[in-house]
Amino acid sequence: MEYFPLFMNLRQAPCLIVGGGEVALRKVRLLRAAGAELTVLSPVLCRELAELAAAGAVRHLAAEFVPDTVGGQRLVIAATDDRAVNRAVSDAAKAANIPVNVVDDPELSTWISPAIVDRSPLLIAVSTGGSVPVLGRLVRARLESLIPAGFGRLAGFGARFRDRVKARFADVEQRRAFWESVLEGPVADAVVAGSDDVAEQMMEQRLAEPDAPSGAVYLVGAGPGNPDLLTFRALRLMQQADVVLYDNLVAPALLELVRRDAERIFVGKQRANHALPQEDINALMLRLAQEGKRVLRLKGGDPFTFGRGGEEIEKLAEHGIPFEVVPGITSASGAAAYAGIPLTHRDYAQSVTFVTGHKQDGTIQLDWPALTRPHQTVVVYMGVSTASELCAAFVEHGKPSDTPAAVVEWATTERQRTVVGTLETLPALIGEHGIASPALIIVGEVVALAGRLGWFRRIENPTVTI
Residues assigned a catalytic role: 247, 269
Mark the segment that binds ligand SAH (CB under 6 A) among 84-92, 131-139, 149-157, 433-441.
433-441
Query: Distance (Å, rounded) from C-alpha 461 to C-alpha 432?
Result: 12
Tell me the closest approach of the beta carbon of residue 255 to ligand SAH, in angstroms.
Answer: 15
Q: Which is nearer to ligand SAH, 242 or 247 (CB)?
A: 247
Contacts with ligand SAH, 364-403, as mask; x by CB under 6 A:
-----------------xx---------------------
Stretch that binds ligand SAH, among 39-47, 258-266, 390-398, 405-413 (CB under 6 A): 405-413
Residue 44 labeled ligand binder: yes
Out of 301, 322, 404, 454, which residue is the one contacting ligand SAH (CB under 6 A)?
Answer: 301
Residue 63 main-chain phi, psi, to 5 deg? -155, 165
Nearest to 457 by CA among 276, 335, 325: 335
Binding segment (CB under 6 A) for ligand SAH, from list 84-92, 170-178, 409-417, 453-461: 409-417
Q: Quote the least distance from Cβ 121 to ligand SAH, whole Å.
A: 38
Q: How far apart are CA 84 and CA 361, in angstroms?
A: 84
DSSP at 63: S
DSSP-derived pairing of the beta strands 404-409 and 439-443:
antiparallel
Footprint of ligand SAH on residues 311-370 (CB under 6 A)? 330-331, 335
The distance of closest approach from Cβ of residue 312 to ligand SAH in the complex, given in angstroms and rounded to an integer, is 12
Q: Which residue is nearest to ligand SAH (CB)?
A: 301
| Rounded to 5°, angle at Cα 291 from 288 and 295 | 40
Which residue, 339, 335, 354, 365, is CA-closest to 439? 335
Q: Does 417 bind ligand SAH (CB under 6 A)?
A: no
342-345: long-range pairs with CB below 8 Å, 24+: 342/446, 342/449, 342/453, 343/377, 343/379, 343/442, 343/446, 344/377, 344/446, 345/445, 345/446, 345/449
Q: Which is nearer to ligand SAH, 148 or 307 (CB)?
A: 307
Query: Does 406 engage in binding with ligand SAH (CB under 6 A)?
Result: no
Phi first, then psi, for residue 37 (nearest 5°) are: -95, 110
User: Considering only CA atoms, which of 144, 147, 243, 140 is closest in space to residue 192?
Assistant: 147
Interface residues with ligand SAH (CB under 6 A)? 224-225, 249, 299-302, 305-307, 330-331, 335, 381-382, 408, 410-412, 437-440
